[in-house]
Chain A
Amino acid sequence: MPRLVRWIWILLALHLTLGMIAYAHFQVTGRYAVLGWYFWALGSLFFLVMTAAECCLAILCRSWFDSDEPMRLAWSMIACAAMARLAGVLLRSASDGHLPWGHWHQLSQPLGGLFASLSQVGMVVGGPLSMAFLAIGLGRVLGIQRRFHLLASLTRGDKALLLMVLAFSISQISMNLPLLWNRPSLGTMLLWLSDPLLGLLLVEAILVRRSVIRMGQGLVAQCWGMFVLAIVTTSAGDAAIWASNHGLLSDSMTALSWYIWFVAAAAFASAPAYQFAAIALTREDGLDFLPRP
């Protein structure tokens, strides 16, 4: 495992250990005080560190491709997605009511009332906008993988999953369409795009996963494998929110499901770290895996 990736997962393990202590406190006492502080302070800091790392690494990977190379666009889109996620985290932190400036931002209506709050702007930027960038980037990667015959045909399980994703996306759109009569804000309507975009990302993730299986466990394959893991965990987190909103999860299970987002953030940061490790390997001295004359 490359050093950078190892650091990301060590940081996640430490963070989750602290999180489990907070969760144990919640389970024993039944109070949200410590758990709330953990997610508000340490959780926000973890997201900030991971998205900043992801952003820097994605920009670094992009810089290794010339403007006429097909992967340049893919990494540009992935870097844009990372930047949007970072901006989303910053905007949500800036509009936090617990901070001194939070109340002032909550009173103002950003962008002429198109968005309900600054937090909603952050959710749109870090959610649907980031997903759209990532979908374009992964689409480009799939095109390149197809050119090299790395895409395998879908299995029955893949097709069943694709049908489920499609059905879920259509059901979400049909549920949201009648709400248009209530004249929702632009921000609310943009947030409705989250589920269909996540569905599209899942479809792409399934196709990328097929190609990863065909390649093996190399650094570039692991890079795309990490994107698959990130998208699947994001979908799991999204499904947990949906289940919680519909009363299908108990309080303790709902609290436990929040930890999924940290795994997704670590996977998103690991993906460009793997790609960077592959590129950096070509410049390393004393490669012991190469046979000598």
Chain B
Amino acid sequence: MNLMDRWNPRSWGRKLPVTPGRDAAFESAPASGLDDLQTRLSHWSLLWTQGSEFASSTEAQQLVAERLARWMERCFGQHVQSSLRGEGSQISLASSTPIFTAFLGRRATRELSRRVLQDI
């Protein structure tokens, strides 16, 4: 079916032919792949929720916090961080996403988060 057929009433009732695929036998993933996935997920989780509860932060976490702080300063101002959180707690994606989403919108915040996590 080409693009223009979509507007042709004759083709509305026609069903698209089902291409016989390969045998859909799903095999269990190797254990090493699952471990890799778990490590990756916990890494992203740490980056997402980095806060005061994590005493020792990695270099990547520091970078995320620093980038978020720069975004906060650029978008809202130099005093906004102290207004939003108490002294001592570090900025994280989880804590900053609501304010970014509220004032910039969901789509812009998604782009911003992508920028923050770039090359990490």
Give A residues with C-beta under 8 Å from B. 64-66, 69-71, 144, 147-150, 212, 214-221, 278-279, 281-283, 287, 289-293
Flag if A148 contacts B84 (CB, 8 Å).
Answer: yes
Given contacts A215-B83, A291-B67, contact A64 B74 (CB under 8 A): no
CB<8 Å pairs between A and B, sample of 18? A65-B105, A66-B105, A69-B106, A144-B103, A148-B84, A148-B98, A149-B83, A150-B80, A214-B80, A215-B83, A217-B78, A218-B74, A218-B75, A220-B75, A279-B108, A287-B115, A293-B59, A293-B120
Not counting A69-B101, A70-B102, a sample of 6 additional A-B residue pairs whose C-beta atoms are within 8 angstroms of each other reads A69-B105, A69-B106, A148-B99, A221-B76, A289-B74, A291-B63
Flag if B119 contacts A292 (CB, 8 Å).
Answer: yes
**Does residue B79 face the partner (Cβ distance < 8 Å to A)?**
yes
How far is it, in angstroms, between the C-alpha of A64 and the C-alpha of B103 when the chains are bound?
10
Task: Tell me the chain B residues, 87-120 only, with Cβ under 8 Å from chain A.
Answer: 98-99, 101-109, 111-112, 115, 119-120
Say which residue of A65, A216, A291 sits within 8 Å of B66 (CB atoms): A291
Give B residues with C-beta under 8 Å from A. 59-60, 63, 66-67, 70-80, 83-84, 98-99, 101-109, 111-112, 115, 119-120
**In the assembled complex, how far is the CB of residue A192 from the closest CB belonging to chain B, in whole angstroms?**
35
Flag if A215 contacts B70 (CB, 8 Å).
Answer: no
Say which residue of B75, B84, B99 sits within 8 Å of A219 (CB atoms): B75
The residue in A64, A71, A279 that gathers the most chain B C-beta atoms within 10 A of its C-beta is A279
**In the assembled complex, how far is the CB of residue B87 from the closest CB belonging to chain A, in whole angstroms?**
15
Q: Inter-chain contact count A-B, CB under 8 Å?
A: 97
Determine the residue in chain B with the shortest Cβ distance to A223: B103
Residues in chain B near residue A147, CB distance under 8 A? 102
Flag if B79 contacts A278 (CB, 8 Å).
Answer: no
Flag if A216 contacts B80 (CB, 8 Å).
Answer: yes
Flag if A215 contacts B115 (CB, 8 Å).
Answer: no
Residues in chain A near residue B104, CB distance under 8 A? 64, 220, 278-279, 282
Flag if A216 contacts B67 (CB, 8 Å).
Answer: no
**In the assembled complex, how far is the CB of residue A287 from the closest CB belonging to chain B, in whole angstroms?**
7
Given contacts A64-B105, A149-B84, contact A216 B63 (CB under 8 A): no
**In the assembled complex, how far is the CB of residue B6 from the closest CB belonging to chain A, in whole angstroms?**
26
